[in-house]
A and B are shown apart, each in its own frame.
Chain A
Amino acid sequence: MIKTLKKYRYLLARLVQRDFIQKYKKTSLGIIWSVLSPLCEFAVLMFIFKNMFGRDMPHFTVYMLIGVLSYSYYSNATTSGMQSFLFNAGIMHKIKLPTWLFPLSKNISAAINFLITCIIMVVFMFIDQLAPNLNMVWLLYPFVLFFFFNLGLSLILASLYVFFKDVQYLYHIFNKLLYFCCAIFWTPDRLSEESQKLLMINPVYGFIDYGRSVILYGEVPSMEAHLILLGYTVLVMLLGVVIYRCNRNKFIFYL
C-alpha cells in the first residue's frame, strides 16, 4: 500500500488540487470562501444562541467555534468522500488505478480546508483574549485520529453508496441528528450524569470535547478519552478497509 501511495503521490496531489480548483472555480472570492462560509454560519449561530445559552459561560465564542469547525470538517470530509467513487466513475471505467485514492484525496482536501478555517479560530482566540498554551501540541493527536476516522467512515459510506444510492439521504438525516448531539451550541453540563455519558458514545463529540478542553482550559484530557478516540478510529478504519476490500472488485459493475 505504501508502495502504491508512493507511485501515485503525484496523482494524489493533483486530485487535491483539482478539488480546490473545482470548488471555487468561477467564484470571484475564490479560496476565501473556505473561511467565509463557515464564518457566516458561525455568525448566524452566534446571533441566535449567544443570548440563549452562553450567558454565563466564558469564552463561549471559541467554545462554539471549535464545535462548528470540527463538525463541518467531519461533514465535508465524509459527504465528499462518500460521493468520490461516483464522481470519478468515468475515470474508474477507463483507467486502472487504486480506487481508494479518491476518498483519500477528498479527505485530504477536507483536512486542508479545515486547517485553513482554523485561522478564524486563532483570530477569535485573540479577540477573546484566550492565550495559547503549551498543551496545544496535544491537538495533533485528535487531529490525526479525526482524519483517519473520517477516512474510514468515507470508505464505508463510499462503498455502500456505490450499491445503494439511498445512503446519501439516510446519511444526510443522520448528520442532521448528529449535529444536535455534538453539543455545538449548548453545554452538556446541563444534562444529567447519564446523558453526559451517553454523549460520549458520539465519537465526533469526543473529538470536539478534546479540542475544547485543550484550547479553553489548557488541560490534556484523561487517558480514557485518548483510548476511546483511538478505539473508535481503529474500529471505523478497520471496518472501512474491510468493506472496501471486499467490494472493490464489484464497484465497476454498479458505477
Chain B
Amino acid sequence: MVEAKNISIRYLSGEFTDIGLKEWTIQKIRRERKVKDFWAVDDVSFRIEDGDFMGVIGTNGAGKSTLLKAVTGILRPQKGTITAEGNVVALLELGTGFDGDLNLRENIRMRGALLGYSKQFIEERIDGILEFAELTEFQWYKYKQLSSGMRSRLAFSICCMVQPDVLILDEVLSVGDGSFRKKSENKMMEVIQSGAATIFVSHSVQQMRRLCNKLLWLDHGKQIAYAQTREEALELLRKYERYLNARAKDPAAKPDLSDVPPSPAEKNPKESPELTRLRRDFRNRETSYLKYLEILQDLVLHPEKIGNLREYFQSRNITHIALYGETSILRTIVPLLKEAGVTIDYVVENRKASAYSETLYPRSLEQYPETQMLLIADVRLTEEIRKKLAKLTKIPCCSIQDLFQGR
C-alpha cells in the first residue's frame, strides 16, 4: 500500500553552491538573498493497494522520476506526506552500483548488498540470477568486459530476485534482445502478479493501456488527472494521446481534459475489461487456464447465467462457503458468488501463485461451523491436494470447474 497526500518537492537554485560563498554571504548579510524555487512535483495525491498497477504519464520534465524517488524514500517531500507499507523495491536505473573491475559474482553480491539483503539471501540466489541472465559462462569475467546488452540483462536479473510488496519501475519492464526481451517481460509480469502494488513510469501508451488500472497524469509537476478505475484510465489515456498529438504540432499545447470520442474499435470491445485483466493475469500460465478463462468470460458477459450458480447452491442446500485460491481468480469470482446468494465465510488467498505451499492450507475452519463447502479456485488442483484439503478441513471440497459444470 502506498498513499501520497498532497506531496510537493522543490529543487533549489541560486543557492550558495551555485553562486559561491562570497556572494552568498553578501546576500545573506544584506538580507536580499534570492532563491528561486522550482517545484518539480506540486501537490500530487494518490493511493494504491496490493495488486494495483498505477501508471504515471507525462512529458519529459513532468516530475515523474522525482515522484518515484519520493515514493522510494530517496527524496523527502517538502510538503505533504507519503506512506508506503511493506518492502518497497525500485528499479529506477539498472546500472547503479556496479564496479567494472569486479567479476560478475562479486557484482551481484555488491548490488544485492546495496538493496539491503543478507549474505545468505544473496548466496542462495546467485546461481539462479546468473542462469536467468544467461551469463553463467561469463561469471568470472569482469563487468566492464560485458556488452551493454549483457550488462542490462545482469542488472535486470538481480532486480527480479526480489519479492517486493511495492514495485517501482521507471521504464524498465524488459531488457535485452528479442528472446530475452520476452523472457524478461514475462518474469516482470510474474513479480507484478504475485500481488505487488506497482507504480510504472513509461512513455509507451500501449503498455499503459494493457496494464494499468490506475493512472496519474503529471504535467510540469502538477497533477492533471488521476484515474482510479480501469475505465477511467483508458479514457484518460485517450486524452493523453490526443495531447501528445497536439503537442507534436504545437509544442505549446496544453493538456486538455475535455471528452474524447472513443475510437470505433474501443467502442465495441471484443472482450470485457474484466476479461482483459484476467488475460493479463493469466499470461504465462498453463494452457488449462484458458479454458477456465472462457468460463469466467461467459459469466461476466452474461450475468443472467448467475442464476445457474444460484440453482447449484440451492439444490445442494449450501448457504455458507469458504474460498481458497489465487488472488487474481478470487477477485473475479467473489462478486459472482455473492450475486448467486451464498455467504462467503472467509477467504484464504494464495498470493504467490507459484508456491502451492502446505503452510497456506486452510486449517482454522473450526471457527466457522456454518461453512458447508470449501471452494478451491485454482486450476492446478490435483486429486491428491483435494483429498488433503478435505481431510484437513473436514468438509467437502469443490473446484471451480466442478462448480461451473454443475458437478
Q: Which residues of A contact B (CB under 8 A)?
A: 7-8, 10-11, 13-15, 18, 21-22, 25, 90-97, 163-166, 249, 252-254
Chain-A contact segment, one of B109-117, B224-232, B276-284, B341-349: B109-117
Known contacts A8-B116, A18-B110, A97-B114; decide if A166 and B21 are in contact (CB<8 Å): yes
In order of increasing CB-CB distance, the 10 nearest A-B pairs are A11-B113, A94-B96, A96-B73, A249-B76, A14-B113, A10-B119, A10-B113, A94-B92, A96-B72, A96-B74
CB<8 Å pairs between A and B, sample of 25: A8-B113, A10-B118, A10-B119, A11-B116, A13-B113, A13-B119, A18-B99, A90-B96, A91-B96, A91-B97, A91-B114, A92-B74, A94-B74, A94-B97, A95-B90, A95-B92, A95-B114, A96-B73, A96-B88, A97-B116, A163-B17, A164-B16, A164-B21, A252-B74, A254-B17
Q: Which residues of B contact A254 (CB under 8 A)?
A: 15, 17
What CA separation (Å) do A215 and B73 show in the bound complex? 49
B93 and A94: CB pair below 8 A? yes
Further pairs besides A7-B116, A13-B113, A95-B92: 19, Cβ < 8 Å: A8-B116, A10-B113, A10-B117, A10-B119, A11-B114, A14-B110, A15-B113, A22-B101, A90-B97, A92-B74, A94-B90, A94-B92, A95-B90, A95-B115, A96-B88, A97-B114, A164-B16, A252-B75, A253-B75
Q: Which residues of A contact B118 (CB under 8 A)?
A: 7, 10
B76 and A14: CB pair below 8 A? no
B50 to chain A, nearest CB (A): 21
Q: Which residues of B contact A94 (CB under 8 A)?
A: 74, 90, 92-93, 96-97
A25 and B72: CB pair below 8 A? no
What CA separation (Å) do A13 and B119 show in the bound complex? 10
What CA separation (Å) do A252 and B118 show in the bound complex? 26
Q: Which residues of B contact A253 (CB under 8 A)?
A: 11-12, 75
Q: Which residues of A contact B96 (CB under 8 A)?
A: 90-91, 93-95
Is B365 part of the binding interface, using a Cβ–Cβ cutoff of 8 Å? Answer: no
Known contacts A21-B101, A21-B102; decide if A14 and B109 are in contact (CB<8 Å): yes
The 0/1 profile, CB within 8 Å of A marked 1, for residues 8-30 of chain B is 00011001110001000000000
Q: Which residue of A lies closest to B109 (CB)?
A: A14
Q: Which residues of B contact A91 (CB under 8 A)?
A: 96-97, 114
Q: Which residues of B contact A97 (CB under 8 A)?
A: 114, 116
A165 and B110: CB pair below 8 A? no
Q: Which residues of B contact A22 (CB under 8 A)?
A: 99, 101
Q: Which residue of B lies closest to A95 (CB)?
A: B114
A199 to chain B, nearest CB (A): 32
Q: Which residues of B contact A25 (CB under 8 A)?
A: 101
A15 to chain B, nearest CB (A): 8
What CA separation (Å) do A110 and B141 show in the bound complex? 29
Q: Which residues of A contact B92 (CB under 8 A)?
A: 94-95
Q: Which residue of A lies closest to B97 (CB)?
A: A91
Known contacts A14-B110, A95-B97, A95-B114; decide if A165 and B17 are in contact (CB<8 Å): yes
Q: Which residues of A contact B69 (CB under 8 A)?
A: 93, 252
List residues 87-131 of chain B with CB under 8 A from any CB of chain A: 88, 90, 92-93, 96-97, 99, 101-102, 109-110, 113-119, 122
Q: Which residues of B contact A163 (CB under 8 A)?
A: 16-17
What CA separation (Å) do A158 and B393 show in the bound complex? 61
A96 and B90: CB pair below 8 A? yes
Q: Which residue of B lies closest to A7 (CB)?
A: B116
Q: Which residues of A contact B76 (CB under 8 A)?
A: 249
Q: Which residues of A contact B72 (CB under 8 A)?
A: 96
What CA separation (Å) do A235 and B76 show in the bound complex? 29
A102 to chain B, nearest CB (A): 11
List residues 51-97 of chain B with CB under 8 A from any CB of chain A: 69, 72-76, 88, 90, 92-93, 96-97
A154 to chain B, nearest CB (A): 20
User: Of A8, A90, A96, which is in contact with the most chain B CB atoms at under 10 Å from its CB?
Assistant: A96
B234 to chain A, nearest CB (A): 32
Q: Which residue of A lies closest to B10 (CB)?
A: A253
Q: Which residues of B contact A21 (CB under 8 A)?
A: 99, 101-102
Q: Which residues of A contact B15 (CB under 8 A)?
A: 254
What CA separation (Å) do A96 and B259 show in the bound complex? 40
Q: Which residues of B contact A249 (CB under 8 A)?
A: 76
Q: Which residues of A contact B12 (CB under 8 A)?
A: 253
User: Of B16, B116, B119, B122, which is in contact with the most chain A CB atoms at under 10 Å from its CB?
Assistant: B116
Q: Which residues of A contact B88 (CB under 8 A)?
A: 96
A81 to chain B, nearest CB (A): 19
Q: Which residues of B contact A165 (CB under 8 A)?
A: 17
Q: Which residues of B contact A8 (CB under 8 A)?
A: 113, 116
B68 to chain A, nearest CB (A): 10
A208 to chain B, nearest CB (A): 33
B221 to chain A, nearest CB (A): 15
Q: Which residues of B contact A93 (CB under 8 A)?
A: 69, 74, 96
Q: Which residues of A contact B99 (CB under 8 A)?
A: 18, 21-22
